[in-house]
Structure 1
């Protein structure tokens, strides 16, 4: 597998909750991060006083971030409505030649910015709100 184009990493949302996914328009940068919080099971009998972790007991989570510019009023309205409505929706991240990560996320940050001689931009942050699935493409 060769290098992949960043623009092919797509962020999609089921905004209406009806199973229809729409690509979030205007994204110039996006990132998906997975994290696991370990559970420390170290005690006085741990070999050599090395830390021991309890397998399978930690909390897993995923974060999505993106930035770009709004391309139309519909994209703006969708993100704004989900944020101010405090709504959990199913989101997908399509990773080229890898697969699709899908599951419930909440928008935890929505920021707007702009220079006097440029376009209005936005930054978006999402946190997972339940179990995620992965499907190969």
Structure 2
């Protein structure tokens, strides 16, 4: 896979009608996957090397984004999801890699405005269940 344009990494949220709407105006976005390790090292571990229990840790994904307001529909979906503390179905589309889809909760929504600039926002999502990956 060659280099990809950052603007092609998309973040979408499912609206009330079941349609995925692109979160408009994002200038930066990121997805991070994490898995906790479960340490099962004991007094008889060979050479006192740490041992981990496969498949036992909690997995999670975190998504962040930052941008400017562009589209009232997607802005309203994100804002309402935060204030209602709902868990919605989101998609992260990574070009030439795949689509990650599943339940996420908006855990942070920040608005910022400079005197001589536009109003911007930052958002953070945390996975709230099993995610599905589909290769593109």
TM-score, normalised relative to structure 1: 0.96
Cα distance in 2 for partners of 1:58, 1:119 equals 42
2:2 is aligned to 2
1:12 is aligned to 12
Matches within 5 A, 1:15-26: 15-16=15-16, 18-26=17-25
Root-mean-square deviation (CA, aligned residues, Å) is 0.9
Cα distance in 1 for partners of 2:72, 2:22 equals 14
2:31 is aligned to 32
Moved more, 74-83 or 55-64: 74-83
**Runs (4+) of structure 1 moved beyond 4 Å?**
none
Q: By how many angstroms is 1:56 displaced?
A: 0.6
Matches within 5 A, 1:40-79: 40-79=39-78
Cα distance in 2 for partners of 1:21, 1:74 equals 11
1:121 is aligned to 120
- Residue 106 in 1 paired to residue 108 in 2? no
Aligned residues: 136
Cα distance in 2 for partners of 1:72, 1:57 equals 42
Cα distance in 2 for partners of 1:88, 1:41 equals 34
Q: By how many angstroms is 1:123 displaced?
A: 0.4
Cα distance in 1 for partners of 2:2, 2:60 equals 28
TM-score, normalised relative to structure 2: 0.97
Query: Which ranges of structure 1 fall in alignment gaps of 5 or more residues?
Result: none
Cα distance in 2 for partners of 1:58, 1:2 equals 32
For residues 36-81 of structure 1, the C-alpha deviation after alignment (integer angstroms, 9 at most, x for no partner) is: 0010001111111111100010000000000001113323221110
2:132 is aligned to 133
